[in-house]
Amino acid sequence: MSSRISDEFLRAIPKSDLHVHLDGSLRLKTLIELSRGAKVKLPSRSEEGLRKLVFKDAYKNLPEYLHGFMYTCAVLREPENLERVSRELVEDNAAEGVRYLEVRFAPQLSVTPSQGVREIVRAVDKGLAAGAAAHNRSRAVRSGEDVPLRYGIIVCGMRRFKKGMSSYFADILRLMENAPKDEVYAAASLELARAAVELKEEGLPVVGFDLAGEEAGYPPADHHAAYQHAHNHFLGKTVHAGEAYGPESIWQAITQCHANRIGHGTFLFAHEMIRDGRVADRRRYVESLANYLAAQRIGIEVCVTSNLQTIPSLKSIADHPVRRMIDRGLSVSLCTDNRLVSNTTVTRELSLVCKHASLTPQELKRVVIAGFKGAFFAGPFSDKRRFVQSVAARYARLEAEAGVGL
C-alpha cells in the first residue's frame, strides 16, 4: 500500500458494498440473543466460542464455511428478527463509512406458513430504511459535510435446494415431485422474480435479481426465464459466476441471464477450466471475455477474503486475480460477501487489496467510485448521478486533507 493510503483514510472515505449477504452478516451478539427466542441450539453461547467453533478466520473447505448459515438462517424466520438484523447491518456499515449498500438474500429461505416472500422483503426493507434514516438525520448529512446513505435490495434465487431448507422449498418439491429437478429450481426462481417485480412496482427499493448456491453442475442458463422476467421489468441482474466454475459460467450469465454485474468472477482468467470442446483457443476465449467485460462495463463484485477462505487454490492475495482485473481495466468493486462468516468489513477488504495488490492512490479511487457507478440504485438516473457526484466530491476533500494522490 502506498504510504499515503492509511487505514484511517480508508475508514473515512465513502464506500459501497454491492455484494453482501444478509444471512451471512449478523452481529454475533444478535445471533446469540435471537437464537434463544427462536429456540435454535448454538454450539456455544459466547462470541468467543462461536468464533472458535463456527465463524473462523480460516476454513478448511467450503462446507465448513457454509456451516454457520444453518444457524443464521434459522433465526431469520420472524419479521421482527429480519427487521432488527437489517437495521443493524446498515448501522454497522454506516459506522465504517459505507454510503451505498445493496443487501442480498434469498427470501424463500425465511418463508413460513404464516409469511411469504413479500412479507419477508417488506420486513427487511423496514429495517434497512430505519438504519439509513438514522444516519441521514445526522448533523453531518444535514449540513452537507457527509453524504447520505442509500441502499437497495437484491433477491437471490437458488441454483438448487432441499426440502429441509424452508417450508417454501418443501412445498414446491412436493407439488413438482415428478418434474426434473432443474425445472423445479427454475420454477422457484421465476416465482421469486415475479414477486421482486411486484414489490419494485409497489415502490420498494428492490433493485436486482441474483442467483446463488452451488455453481458447478447448476448452470445459470437453467434460470433463463426468471432472468428474462427481471430483464423485461427493468431489474438489475447479477449472477454468482466464476466463483467455483470457469469462464464459461461468466459468459453464460451474460448471454443467458443478461447480467449487468458478476458476483465474484474469480476464475475469469482460468482458461484451463473451459470444458466446451468447441472452444479451440482457450486463452483467446478468456482474453475476449475479459475485453468484453471491460468494454461493456459489466461490473465484477470482488470478495477477496471470502475467496481466500473458500477456494483452496488461492493461498494469498498474490494468487487472486483482482490485480489482473484492475490492470485490464475491468469495473471492479470490493465487497465483503459475508461480514460475519468472513469476519471482515469493506474497510478491511480495501486495506488488504491496497497492501497486497499494491494499489496506487489513483487505482484506489477508481475502484471506490466504480462501486457507486455500478450500483443498481433505486430511483431516477439523475438522482444517481448527483449522488455519485457528491461521493466523488467528498472523496476529493478527504483525499486533499490526507495528502493522498499528490
Residue 2 lies in a domain: no
Among 102, 80, 99, 136, CA closest to 25:
102
Per the domain annotation, does 243 fall within a domain? yes
What the block records as the C-alpha cell of 314 is 488461492
pLDDT, one tens digit per residue, over 184-197 is 999 999 999 999 99
pLDDT digits (tens, 9 = 90+) for 253-279: 999 999 999 999 999 999 999 998 899
Domain that holds residue 278: 7-402
The stretch 172-183 carries a mean pLDDT of 95
Residue 290 placed within a domain: yes
Active site residue 243: yes
Q: pLDDT for 361-402, tens place per residue?
A: 999 999 999 999 999 999 999 999 999 999 999 999 999 999
Give Cβ neighbours of residue 123 (< 8 Å, ≥ 6 apart): 79, 80, 82, 83, 86
DSSP assignment of 313-327 equals T--SGGGSTHHHHHH
DSSP 24: G
From 243, 248, 349, 363, active-site residue: 243
Q: Is the pLDDT of residue 149 over 80?
A: yes
What is the CATH number for 53?
Answer: 3.20.20.140
Whether 198 is in a domain gets the answer yes
State how far the alpha carbon of 300 is from the alpha carbons of 80, 208, 294, in Å.
33, 15, 10
- pLDDT for 213 equals 87
In a domain, 264, yes or no: yes
Mean pLDDT of the chain: 95
Residue 56 forms part of a structural domain: yes
Mean pLDDT over 150-157 rounds to 98
Q: In this prediction, what percent of the chain has a pLDDT beyond 70?
A: 99
Residues 6+ apart with CB under 8 A from 90: 101, 127, 128, 130, 131, 132, 134, 135, 149, 151
Report phi then psi at 151, rounded to 5.
Answer: -145, 165
Question: Would the pLDDT of 406 be above 70?
Answer: no
Asked if residue 181 is part of any domain, the answer here is: yes
> What's residue 214's pLDDT?
84
Output the pTM of the full model. Answer: 0.96
pLDDT tens for 49-68 read 999 999 999 998 888 999 99
Q: Is residue 162 part of a domain?
A: yes
- The alpha helices in 176-281, defined as continuous H runs, are 181-202, 224-232, 247-257
Q: How many domains does the chain have?
A: 1
